[in-house]
């Protein structure tokens, strides 16, 4: 079964394309890491999945239902931790959880939920006095109400210290063991790396890579990074390098001299030739091994052309 399916989804805000022809499938029972820098379109994609916003094109199904048709039925079986959300200052922890429990029409114990997220002592305190991390834990507890089939966590580590982030990942694993599908967004690789079965990397509104974590590591071992120092950059230099077979990503740097950083498992000569054909002069080049961090960076860093 498929938990989440997006088909050719495009969303524009006025004339800005936030998400462009996005296809994505998340299988039931997997932990999917949704990576990308801030502004890549991750939250827009999640908002589309929750019917907070409507796509200009394409179809979205969550838990086997069209999100436009019955978003309420989907949310009944989904726990959501929205990005940058705030708690209600005048409600206590207990009242927050009671609201979630009433809203879902389920039986759950607020004390047990708060114990699970590590803030049982805050149950009778008004959430207005919580720290950022405590508020985030309370929102996670609300998302867990009713043992949802799908958990959608948008930047769940926001405001958590490393210890809190680790506890959060532990809960994600427990929920997954229970049978829940987890869709988990982050702009930080390590948080996803440790816990996810599969990751998707988004940049500029497009999915630039979807693979298992093992698959990403695999591509890392064959990938080499070519640093090419040139005398200047032409408008089409980057595109020319990207067009070469085997090239997965191209970054540019202009710290001392203009430099192209090309990730590729193909021919070095072909890349160098393609760069020269755009009319620039190659001063120097060297090859490096890529780390997972660099692969992610290459995928997610926007091109900077001087």
Binding site for another protein (CB under 8 A): 47, 50, 52-54, 71-73, 75-76, 78, 80, 82-91, 95, 99-100, 102-105, 139, 142-143
Q: How far is the CB of 80 from another protein (least distance, A)?
A: 4
Helix (H, G, I), strand (E, B) or coil at 158: coil
Cα–Cα dist 30/184, whole Å: 11
Q: How far is CA 17 from CA 11, 22, 239, 300, in A?
A: 6, 12, 20, 17
Helix (H, G, I), strand (E, B) or coil at 225: strand
Q: How far is the CB of 260 from another protein (least distance, A)?
A: 39
Cβ atoms of residues 261 and 252 within 8 Å? yes
Task: Closer to another protein by CB, 75 or 187: give it.
Answer: 75
Q: How far is the CB of 164 from another protein (least distance, A)?
A: 19
For residue 223, the tally of other CB atoms under 10 A from its CB is 20
Task: Closer to another protein by CB, 158 or 237: give it.
Answer: 158
Sign (positive or negative) of CA dihedral 53, 58, 60, 65: positive
Beta bridge partners of 84: none
Q: How far is the CB of 49 from another protein (least distance, A)?
A: 11
Task: Closer to another protein by CB, 128 or 162: give it.
Answer: 128
Q: How far is the CB of 126 from another protein (least distance, A)?
A: 10
Task: Closer to another protein by CB, 99 or 285: give it.
Answer: 99
Q: How far is CA 131 from CA 25, 135, 137, 159, 233, in A?
A: 36, 6, 10, 9, 48
Q: DSSP secondary-structure letter at 105?
A: T
Q: How far is the CB of 42 from another protein (least distance, A)?
A: 14
Task: Closer to another protein by CB, 95 or 301: give it.
Answer: 95
Task: Closer to another protein by CB, 101 or 228: give it.
Answer: 101
């Amino acid at each position: 079964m498929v938990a989440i399916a997006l088909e050719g989804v495009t969303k524009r805000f006025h004339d800005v394309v936030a998400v462009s022809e996005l296809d994505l499938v998340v299988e039931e029972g997997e932990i999917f890491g949704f990576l990308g820098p801030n502004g890549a379109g991750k939250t827009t994609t999640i908002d589309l999945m929750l019917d907070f916003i409507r796509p200009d094109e394409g179809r979205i199904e969550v838990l086997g239902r069209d999100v436009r048709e019955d978003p309420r039925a989907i949310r009944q079986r989904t726990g959501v931790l929205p990005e940058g959300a705030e708690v209600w200052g005048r409600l206590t922890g207990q009242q927050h959880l009671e609201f979630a429990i009433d809203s879902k029409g389920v039986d759950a114990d607020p004390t047990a939920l708060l114990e699970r997220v590590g803030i049982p002592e805050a149950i009778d305190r008004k959430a207005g006095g919580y720290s950022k991390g405590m508020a985030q834990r309370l929102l996670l507890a609300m998302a867990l109400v009713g043992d949802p089939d799908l958990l959608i966590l948008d930047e769940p580590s926001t405001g958590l210290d490393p210890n809190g982030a680790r506890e959060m990942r532990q809960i994600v694993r427990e929920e997954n063991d229970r049978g829940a599908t987890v869709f988990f967004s982050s702009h930080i690789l390590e948080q996803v790396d440790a816990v996810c079965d599969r990751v998707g990397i988004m940049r500029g509104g497009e999915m630039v890579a979807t693979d298992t974590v093992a698959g990403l590591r695999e591509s890392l071992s064959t990938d080499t990074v070519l640093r090419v120092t040139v005398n200047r950059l032409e408008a089409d230099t980057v595109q020319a390098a990207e067009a070469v077979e085997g090239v997965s990503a191209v970054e540019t740097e202009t710290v001392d001299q203009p430099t192209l950083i090309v990730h590729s498992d193909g021919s070095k000569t072909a890349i160098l030739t393609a760069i020269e054909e755009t009319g620039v002069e190659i001063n120097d080049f060297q090859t490096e091994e890529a780390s997972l961090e660099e692969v992610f960076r290459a995928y997610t860093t926007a091109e900077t052309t001087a």
